[in-house]
Amino acid sequence: MTIQYITVLGATGSIGSNTLDVVAMHPDRYRVFALAAHSQVDKLLQQCLQHRPRYAVLVDAAAAASLQQQLAAAGADTEVLAGEAALSDIACAAEVDMVMAAIVGAAGLRPTLAAAAAGKRILLANKESLVVAGDLFMRTVRESGATLLPVDSEHNALFQSLPAGFDGDLAAAGVVELILTASGGPFRHHSLEQLQHVTADDACKHPNWVMGRKISVDSASLMNKGLEVIEARWLFNTPAEQIKVVVHPQSVIHSMVRYHDGSIMAQLGSPDMRTPIAYAMAWPQRIAAPVQALDFLTLGSLTFEAPDLQRFPCLRLAFDSLRTGGDASAVLNAANEVAVASFLSGRIGFLQIPQLIERALSRMDLALSADLDSLLAKDAATRALVTEWVAA
Ligand code: NAD
Ligand code: MG
């Protein structure tokens, strides 16, 4: 078997660490080419010592210098690069077979898009790339012949439940709709009154999944599901009308595809991201993952309910932005990132998140940007506006 070289963008995060768990299980198949993170020196150092990559990247220059020094002292020959441009370099290098895109937020767009343009196999966790630049991203993938494999558990489930070789033609495949499941998050039973007083730590206590803080808040507000609806639209060429969301608190069914003949195909498993990661890494084969097997006899019941758009307006805003089209989703995402960061640092309340997003959507020009630079300029302008509102 030929060894596959992987670059992990966002290596120190929740998805990045889970990816390295799977890599470590299969030394005969995978080797790490490069690891990248923002500024977490200690964790990246430890990962470099274990996986011995050719390159390590830290965006923060001082952190990169410190990492280089500690690696040299430990006798490791990993070369450390600094700065944002290095992220794209390690994603595009000729030696790289696959790129795990696991940076959080729109910061992941440029290097992930660079990997797409270079025709790499992309394991996509960074859903924000598709939310911000879905049209451009999918066009780039088509033109370069890159392979795009969804890591997000819902989309990985949909990918597994669609016919092999699905080419985006829903009617030809006999598909009626995609059904995304949502856990409902930690505030599923909270009243609007209670939602006014929740804290960042409350939001980060997810009932089923251990994740980074940004996506944890998104899960609590249902914006994560909203971003996933937009992600599904691009990945599977599916209009908003054919994407449904159902709350399924046990997170056992990861999503479903409904067909014309009455069949529904679903993918089930323990809520552990190492399953979709391993699937994306090995597709079309399957490899072992260090995941607890699902035991139906101890599972109890699986339940379902409708999402409540009154208490969780972020999901409605995401559906609306998809229908509006243009740059609406990019504006939604930028406003959400600033609002979530402000909530995490205690500057705004939980219910202000959707309010700030709605205000940004009504203020910004939502016409489709002609290219990446103007799209990123709109992203920056939205962030500046929302930052100003938070400070006021
Ligand atoms: P995390 O916060 O745990 O990790 C984020 C990683 O990105 C870290 O390595 C950090 O150093 C890096 N990073 C942050 N900002 C950066 C920047 N500006 N430049 C370069 N690197 C930067 O996040 P996570 O939970 O692992 O999520 C990562 C992505 O995967 C997100 O897009 C999230 O929506 C998606 N995702 C996560 C899960 C999950 O279970 N955690 C599930 C599905 C999808
Ligand atoms: Mg998900």
**Mean pLDDT within 319-335:** 98
Beta strand 121-124 with 98-101 is parallel
Q: From residue 58, how far is each of 55, 373, 383 by CA, in Å? A: 10, 23, 23
**Residue ranges of E strands in 222-379:** 243-247, 253-259, 264-268
> 108 C-alpha to center of ligand 1: Å?
9
Q: Report the predicted TM-score, pTM, of the whole model to 2 decimal places.
A: 0.98
| Residue 1 clears pLDDT 80, i.e. is over it | no
Q: Six-digit token pair at 122?
A: 């992309």
> 76 C-alpha to center of ligand 2: Å?
36
Is ligand 1 within 6 A of the CB of residue 37? yes
Confidence (pLDDT) at 210: 82
Is ligand 1 within 6 A of the CB of residue 88? no
pLDDT band at 194 (very low <50, low <70, confident <90, very high): very high
Q: Which residue in this structure is represented by tokens 């803080």?
A: 213
> 228 C-alpha to center of ligand 2: Å?
7
Tens of pLDDT, residues 274-284: 999 999 999 99
| Integer Cα distance of 309 and 306 in angstroms | 9
Is ligand 1 within 6 A of the CB of residue 124? no
DSSP letter, residue 240:
G
Beta strand 253-259 with 264-268 is antiparallel
Confidence (pLDDT) at 208: 82
**Mean pLDDT within 223-238:** 98
pLDDT band at 320 (very low <50, low <70, confident <90, very high): very high
